[in-house]
Amino acid sequence: MTKTNSIIFYFIVVFMLILLNFQVSDESEFIVVRSKAGLTCVPKDLPLETTTLDVSQNYISELQTSDIVSLSKLRILIMSYNRIQYLDISVFKFSTELEYLDLSHNKLEVISCHPTVNFKHLDLSFNAFDALPICKEFGNMPQLKFLGLSAIQLQKSSMQPIAHLNISKVLLVLGDNYGEKEDPESLQDFSIENLHIVFPMKKEFRFMLDVSVSTAVSLELSNIKCVVDDIECFYFLSALAKLRKNRRLSNLTLNNVETTWNSFIAILQLIWYTPVEYFSVSNVKLQGQLAFRNFDYSDTSLKALSIYQVVTDVFSFPQSNIYRIFSNMNIQNFTVSGTRMIHMLCPSQVSPFLYLDFSNNLLTDMVFTSCGSLTKLKTLSLQMNQLKELAKIILMTKEMTSLQKLDISQNSLRYGDDENSCSWAKSLLILNMSSNTLTGSVFRCLPPRVKVLDLHNNKITNIPKDITHLQALQELNVASNSLTDLPGCGAFSSLSVLVIDHNSVSHPSADFFQTCQKISSIAAGNNPFRCTCELREFVKKIGQVSREVVEGWPDSYKCDYPDSSKGTPLQDFHMSPLSCNTVLLTVTIGVTMLVLAATVAFLCLYFDLPWYLRMLCQWTQTRRRARNIPLEELQRNLQFHAFISYSSHDSAWVKSELLPNLEKDDIRICLHERNFVPGKSIVENIINFIEKSHKSIFVLSPHFVQSEWCHYELYFAHHNLFHEGSDNLILILLEPIPQYSIPSSYHKLKTLMARRTYLEWPMEKKEINHTQG
C-alpha cells in the first residue's frame, strides 16, 4: 500500500469507528459509549477488544454473565442510571481485567457475593440497599481506592470486612429512610482518608452518627437541614463537636445546607475549635436574622474559609454584625462568593488576610474605603460586583501596601478624563479590569509596576499619547474594545504579550514589530482589516515573524474591506507592487503614454495614418448609406458600364487602345481623369464611381502594382456594395507581373490573380469587346 492509500484507509477506519460510537485512544484502549441510547439490556454486538464500556442512562434492568463474558479485556464498566435491581457479583468471574465498576443510581436492593473480583473503583451508591452492601470478599480487594455505598441502616459489624483496607475515598449515601435505628459508632473502625457522607434530603438533621473517623483527612457532608430554631441545630453541632478529637482532619466541606443565621454562625464558631484548616460551605439557604453577638477567634487551626452560593429568605435586616464577624477573621484565605452580600467592613486591626475573594456579590465602591488594616493582603477579587467609580477603587488600594493582584473585572467601572489623583498601590503586579466601561483615559493612571493588565471588553477607542510609562508591563489584553490601531511599545518597553482581537483595527501600522522587539505573542485576529495597499507591509511583517508568535493566524485574520475581498484570509491577500506605489504607477503610465504617442507619430509620418483613417471612415459611411437604400434604387443610379482603374504610366495605352475600342461600341466608361468631381476627396470619388458602374476594369501592369491608389480602387471594387459576390471585376494583364514584384501586403491582388482568369493583352482583344457587349 502506498503512503497516501494507507492514510486514506486509516481515515476510513477512524471515521467508521466514530460512526459506530467507538473511540480508539491508544493501542490498549478501546472505548464503547452507548449511554442515553434507550437500551433495555447490554448490547450483544460489542467488539471483543472493548476495554471501556459506558451504557449509563439507559433502561437496563439486568446484568448477566453472558452480557460481558466475551469481553475479556474489559477494564471499565459504567452502568450508572439504569434499573438494575439485583446484582450477582459472580457475573464478573470471567472478567479478570475489570477494575472499575460504576453501578450508582440504580435500584439495587441485594447483591450476592463472589470471591473472584478485584476492583479499584466500586460504586454502589444511590441504590436501594437496606444494609450496607459489603461482602466479606471485599476484604480481599487490597487495591480498592474508591468505594461508593448506600444504605438506610448502618452497623459497625457490616464495616468489619473492609476495616483493614486503606481505601482513599468512601462515598456513603444514606437513603431517605435512614435514621430509624442508628448505630452512632458504625463508622468508627473505618480506615479512610476521604469520607463523603450524603444525608437524606429534606430530612431534619436529627442523626446521632459519629462522623469523626480518626483516619480521615478530608470530610464532606451533604444535605444538612436544621431549621427548627428551638433546638438550634443541636444534633449537627454535636456531630461537628466530635471532630475536635480528630487531629488529622484538615478539610471539611458542607454542601446543601439549610439553616438559620444563628445556627450558621454557631457552626462557624464550632469549626474554629476543630483541627480543620480548610473549610468550605456551598449552596446555603439561610433563614431569620442574626442575634449573635460575639465571635471567639482564638486558638484556631483554620487557614481558609470559603462560602459559595448563599440565599437568604429575609432581605433587609441589620447585617453589620455579620460583616463585623467576617472582617475580623484571623485566617489567610477568605472567600464569599455568590451571596448578594452588599458590604464588607474594614478589619478593626491589622488583618492576616492574604487572599480575599468577594466575587459575584453586590459590593459597591464603598468597600474598604480608607481601610488601613489590610496591609498584608496580596490578592483581592471584587469581580462581578456593583463597582462604579474606578477613582474610588484606586484610592482603596492606596493603603493595601502588599497588594499584588487585583481583580475588579465585570463591574460597571468608569474613569473620567478629569481625575487627577492616581494612588494605585505601588505593589500591584496583576490588574484585571476587564468587562467594565473604561475608556482610553484609564491609561493615564495605572499601577507603575504592573506586569499583567487585562482591559478586554471595555470602551477603549484609543490609547492616549500622554500615558504613564509602564516599563514592567509584559502582558496587555485590550481585546473586544474599539481600538483602531495597534499600540506601539513606546510606553511599554517590556511588552511581550499583546491581545487585541475583536477591535476596529483596520490598517495596523507595520512598524509595530520594529518598536515591540520583545513581543512573543500577539493576537490581533477578528479585526475589520482593510485589504488595501497600506496593509501590505503589515501582512509582510506578520509573514516574517514565526507562526507561534501570531495567535490565531491565519484563520482569524480576514479582509473586511473592500467588499470584493471580504472574508479573504490575510494570508491570501496580495496586491501587485505596481498598484501600491504611486511613483511607480505614474512612471509606468507616463512611459506607456509616451510609447503610444511615439507609435502614433511614427505611423502618421511614415504610413500616412490620418489618410487611412479618413478613407476607412468614408468607406464605412458609404457602406452604411448603401445598406439603407433599396437595391433597385441603387441599380437605377448606375450611370456607367465600366470603371477603369489603371496606373498613370499606362494611361497612354488606356486612352489610345482600350477607350476608343470600348466607346466605339457605345459602352459608357468612367475614367478618373475625366469624370472625377473636383473638390471631392479622391476616395469619395473612387467609391462614388465604382458604385455607379456595372463593372470595374483593372489594367494590370508592374506600374499598377506600384500604385497605391490603384490598389485601393481594386479593394473597393472587390468589396462593392451592391455587386458583392457577383462577377463585377475584369482584370486585363497589360504586361506580365512577376509574382515577387507584388508587395506582400497586397494579398488581395495576389488572391484575385490566382483565382480569376484574366485577359492578356494583346492577343485577346476581340474577346474583350465580346464580353463588354
User: Which chain residues interact with ligand NAG by CB under 6 A?
Assistant: 303-304, 332-333, 355, 383, 407, 409-410, 432, 434-435, 452, 454
Shortest Å distance, C-beta 548 to ligand NAG:
20
Q: Minimum Å distance from CB 277 to ligand NAG?
A: 7
| 408 versus 669: smaller Cβ distance to ligand NAG | 408
- When the beta carbons of 452 and 510 are compared against ligand NAG, the nearer one is 452
Reading the block at residue 165, the C-alpha cell is: 483496607
Q: Which helix (H) or strand (E) holds 170?
A: strand 167-174
Shortest Å, Cβ 380 to ligand NAG: 12
Decide whether 335 or 661 has the Cβ nearer to ligand NAG. Answer: 335
Question: In the complex, what is the shortest distance from the CB of residue 295 to ligand NAG, in angstroms, rounded to a whole number?
Answer: 20
What are 573's three cell numbers?
491577500
Q: What's CA 603's distance to the chain center, in Å?
A: 61
φ and ψ of 210, to 5 deg:
-85, 110
Give the 3-state DSSP-derived string for 382-445, with helices as H, strands as E and coil as C: CCCCCCCEHHHHHHHHCCCCCCCEEECCCCCCECCCCCCCCCCCCCCCEEECCCCCCCHHHHHC
Crossing angle of the two packed helices 582-607 and 609-628, in degrees rounded to 10: 80
**C-beta of 337 vs 409, nearer to ligand NAG:** 409
Judged by beta carbon, residue 374 or residue 644, the one nearer ligand NAG is: 374
Element (H, E) at 731: strand 729-733
Instruction: Give helix 320-327 / helix 261-272 axis angle, nearest 10°.
Output: 10
The DSSP secondary-structure symbol of 106 reads S
Give CA angle at 118 (115, 123), nearest 5°: 105
Contact of 767 with 732, CB cutoff 8 Å: no
Q: How far is the CB of 304 from ligand NAG (least distance, A)?
A: 4
Is the distance from CB of 38 to CB of 29 less than 8 angstroms?
no
**Minimal distance, residue 233 CB to ligand NAG, in Å:** 27
Kindly tell me which of 397 and 410 has the beta carbon lying closer to ligand NAG.
410
Residue 526 C-beta: closest distance to ligand NAG, Å: 17
In the complex, least distance from residue 497 CB atom to ligand NAG, rounded to whole angstroms: 10
Question: What's the gap between Cα 767 and its chain centre?
Answer: 92
| Closer by beta carbon to ligand NAG, 158 or else 301 | 301
- What lies within 8 Å, CB to CB, of 749 at 6+ separation is 705, 711, 714, 742
Nearer to ligand NAG, 352 or 554 (CB): 352
Nearer Cβ to ligand NAG (52/409) = 409
Q: How far is the CB of 301 from ligand NAG (least distance, A)?
A: 11
Cα(557)–Cα(502) distance, integer angstroms: 11
Q: Which is nearer to ligand NAG, 432 or 688 (CB)?
A: 432
CB of 455 within 8 A of CB of 482? no
CB-CB contact of 404 with 430 (8 Å): yes
**Minimal distance, residue 393 CB to ligand NAG, in Å:** 15
CB of 491 closer than 8 Å to CB of 467: yes
Residue nearest to ligand NAG (CB): 409
